[in-house]
Structure formats: C-alpha cells, structure tokens
Structure 1
C-alpha cells in the first residue's frame, strides 16, 4: 500500500459557467465561486420557486466567506460550521417558499483541518431504503413528499456503521469539505483519472443500489430527475459530507445534472484532461452538454489545486 503524501500548502483557482440549456426558458441553476467556498445549486419547483431556492442556497453559503474574512487573520470554518450553514439554507428556503420549491447543493469548502478525518467516496447504502420498492416504472412519482420522518428514522437504524480508514492529520494546513444534497455532483481528477466523489440522492440511484436497474439504464430512466433529498423540500435535507486532503495538481469539478446527465464519465475525463485552462474546460464542457441535447439548465465549476507561491517568487526585484 502506497503511503499518503504529507499535506502541503495550496491555493484554489476556479472558473465556472451556467447556461439555460436548449429546452428550458429560465435558468434555475446558480453557482458560487470564492477562494473559500465553491458551490452549485440546481433549483426545482414552479415558476420562480426553483430560482429563489437556488439563489438562497448560494447566498447563505457565501456568508461563510464573510465570516472567515471579518478579522485580519482569516478564520476558516470547521465541519460543524459548514453543516450549520447548510441547515440555515434549508430553513431559509422552507420559510421563503413554504415547501413550494427546493434545490440541490454541491459545495467544496476550505475548512480548518480536523484532527482526524477521512478522504473517501461516500459508500453505497448498506440497507435499501423502504421507499425504493414503491417506485413506479410507468408514472412520475413525487418521491420526496412520500418520505416521512418515521421512514427515515427506521431506515437509518438499519444502516451499518461505516468502517472507513481514518487519516490522522497533524499539520495546520486547510482541508477541503465536499458537501452534497440531491443529484448535483462533485468529481476529482487526480493523475489523469476521474472519480465521482458524491453519491446521488435520487430515485434511480437507489434503484441501482437495490439491484433493480443498471447504471446504464439509470442514465435514460424516465425517473432520472426525481431526487430523494433536497434543501427546502421534503422530510430529508441532511447533506453528505466528506473531508478531502488535496494534492497539488488535483482538479475538482462541481456540476448540476444538466451536465452530468448529458455526458458520460469518459467524456468528462477526456475534456478535463485535455483542456488545461480552467475557463476553457468549463466552456467546452458546457458546449458539449448543449451539443448532446441540453435538456436541462447547466452549471459547472472547474477548480484547480495549485502550489502556494513562494516568498521569493512574490518579492519585488531590486
């Protein structure tokens, strides 16, 4: 087993785009790009409701940046800080829209490194959700509204405890926290290989986990847009969180399903590898999703992990 490299100081640089797509008349996707928080939110709901939900989500997450920069020494958030902010976003959306709309959220946040943390993809469910068996193949079921708190409590009680490896970190170097609710996704390109770091909270993903359909069938399933978890809607809004220890040269991508639903992972990997410039990569990815059909709004952020410039490099010449 290869030893995990020691963490080193880094900076993040990003470029992102949103596009209404070819089929929609309004864009309910929103993005946030800051040196501490990067986020994609994909709104859902009736006229204006989805737009309001996604806008409230990114505005609430942006407050993390304001808090961090209030003092002369930047104070990065902790994992609980970020979790509380996501809960605040959920509360604000529910209050504003009275459950008439909601949004997905996928965010990458610089955080204060915890003493112990994990760098791993969220594991598949250890128990099949009880609501999965009720998914109809012939009608558009409102999944979120049928998931009650009692069902959630019973399901969580049946989940096996995680047995993932622990990485002990002693250096005061920031880590990254990946947060996701819904089916917007986070990916990492490392050493030329692309890995999906998030797991969709969707009807089709749970059907895949239950062995009812294959990954290929899920891409074109009539219920592929039905999500089982969202901010501002339904009984479940708890985010998945994963602490990541970045390496120089890593490239992260956050996107809504308007991108990942149109392009296969092979295509995503090829474009992220071939287009070194972040802005070019975001533009080409968006263009490829439009060319593939553009059936939904599209949002994408490409984030590169770069080495911190040395003092000698920054010092003015005499």
Structure 2
C-alpha cells in the first residue's frame, strides 16, 4: 500500500486584541496579513493631540500592510522598506493637516517566512517584541526610550524600568523630529517548533512581568489562551497597585508549531 509523502510545515497560531483602557480614545492599532508563505504582523501606539495619535498609528499600520501585500518579500531590506513607506505616509499627513503636526507613533513589525522557518523584526519606540523558545524569553527588542538609555549607561536598573520617571520619553518614533531610523534585525532568526512571539504596547507590558509571560505560555495551549491569561494577570496587577488610569493596551500572540502535510 502506497503511503503519502509527508513533510513538516510551520503552522502559525495567532491571536490579537486591543482595548481602550481608561482613556477617551484608543490610539493603538494593529493588523496582519499573509502572502503565500509569508506573514507580516504590525502593531503601533500613537501620540498627539486632536486624535493625532490614533491617526498616526492607523496610517502607519495601513502603510506597512499595503506595502507588504504589494511587494511581499523576506529580507531586512524589504522589512525596512515597509516601515519607510509608513514614515512617508505619516509625514505627508502631517504636512497636509495643521492639526496633526504633533502626531507620532511607535511601531513594531514581525515578518515570518513559514517555508524557510525564519523571522525578522523591526521597531521604533517602546512597543515591544519578545521571542520565546521552549517557554522562555530568548530575545526582546530594546526600547527607544530615555529610561533604556540610562539602563545602557549603568545609571538605572532594567528590572525597575517600568517605574522609571523617564520611561515614556522616546527618542525614536514615526513622525517624531530627529534622525532616528527603524531598527531592523540584520540576520534572520531561525524558528523552531514551539517558538512564540509576543508583540505588545507599553500599556500591556508595563503590567505583565517577563516571568509572568513565560508562566502563561507554559500553562496554556493556544495563542488565544496565552493572551487571555496574561491579560487576567495584568488586570490583577493593576487592581493591587495604586494606579488610577490604564493606558490603551494591545498585543499579538504568535505560536509556531510543526504539522505534517502532504507534498
């Protein structure tokens, strides 16, 4: 009896949410798209008066996805071009609308090549990307914030960065003045069965500690359950703190698994 020829393919189990917190508007935005065996996930957290942050975040997200769908490719150069297109779109809107001159947005993007089992990421600001392997954090993007600069200089403790008074002072964001450019991983990250990514705005990660992210991943079996459990912990941490307000909070959870498919 002939047996079908099987191969291992990488399956993406992705979940997302975005919530307003106690703010008047939600200035976070997120989206993702698939083209053949490529997937692009992008998340933004906007700032600026007159709804500017909401506009900047949505413009940036839409631009990245538009460029990816039109020119889907897996390379650091391609990923950089997606973010450059977002930078251009936000800059054009700022020039055309006086009320939006102060708007800017963080951005984080993950590009996954399922066929070749690898990934790239890029970011500006303090929207974070965590990579997990065997349930533990393997890598994390570095915030473009004044607090992170003080940590790098040995003048502040990373474990206390969530409470640092300069944590929200960013030196890189789409729409912000200056010569900062998107930070893109130079080399592709090899992916394995069981790897995972968490992409989240500061309104999420400031209330979920790294060991809690790992615990939630280890005790759930889907991206949806992982996100839900982390958010429950965030709500508990907020309730036991002295915080009165909660920022917008948004996240992607991406779990990667091997599955057998026919050739």
Answer yes or no: same fold by TM over 0.5.
Answer: yes
Q: Quote the Cα distance in structure 2 between the aligned partners of 1:194 and 1:77.
A: 24
Task: Report the CA distance between 1:105 and its aligned residue.
Answer: 0.8
User: Shift of residue 9 of structure 1?
Assistant: 4.4
Match of 2:255 in 1: 304
Mapped partners of 1:218, 1:261: distance in 2: 9
Change (3 A) 1:267 1:26: same
Q: Normalized against structure 2, the TM-score is what?
A: 0.84
Structure 2 CA distance for partners of 1:201 and 1:262, relative to 1, 3 Å: same
2:167 equivalent to 1:224: yes
Query: C-alpha root-mean-square deviation of aligned residues, in Å?
Result: 2.1
- State how far apart, in whole Å, the 2-side matches of 1:67 and 1:309 are: 30
Q: Which runs of 5+ in 1 are unaligned?
A: 1-7, 69-74, 113-171, 313-318
- Report what 2:28 is aligned to: 29
Is the radius of gyration larger for structure 1 or structure 2? 1
Runs of 4+ in 1 over 3 A off after TM superposition: none
Aligned residue for 1:285, secondary structure, equals helix
Give unmatched runs, 5+ long, in structure 2: 1-7, 96-100, 239-244
Do 2:9 and 2:260's aligned partners in 1 also have CA atoms closer than 8 Å?
Answer: no
- Measure the CA separation in 2 of the matches of 1:86 and 1:308: 32
Q: Residue deviations 1:170-201, cap 9 Å, x none?
A: xx725211111111111122112123421110
| Aligned positions, number | 239
* Partners of 2:106 and 2:20 in 1: CA distance: 17
Residues 1-318 of structure 1 aligned to structure 2 (within 5 Å): 9-21=9-21, 23-35=22-34, 36-67=39-70, 76-98=73-95, 99-110=101-112, 173=116, 175-242=118-185, 243-293=188-238, 295-311=246-262
Q: C-alpha deviations, 1:206-233, integer Å up to 9, x for none? A: 0111111112332211221111100111
Q: Distance in 1 between matches of 2:138 and 2:60?
A: 25
Higher-strand-fraction structure? 2
The verdict on how the C-alpha distance between 1:226 and 1:62 changes in structure 2, with shifts beyond 3 A counting, is: same
CA contact (8 A) 1:180 1:239 kept: yes
8 Å CA contact 1:15–1:282 kept in 2: the answer is: yes
TM-score (norm 1): 0.70
* Contact 1:46/1:101 (<8 A) preserved: yes
Secondary structure of the residue aligned to 2:233 is: helix
Alpha-carbon distance between aligned partners in 2 of 1:90 and 1:264, rounded to the nearest angstrom: 31
Distance 1:305 1:91, change over 3 A: same
Question: C-alpha distance in 1, partners of 2:220/2:42?
Answer: 21
Q: 2:25 & 2:169 partners in 1: Cα distance?
A: 19
Secondary structure of 1:304's counterpart equals: strand
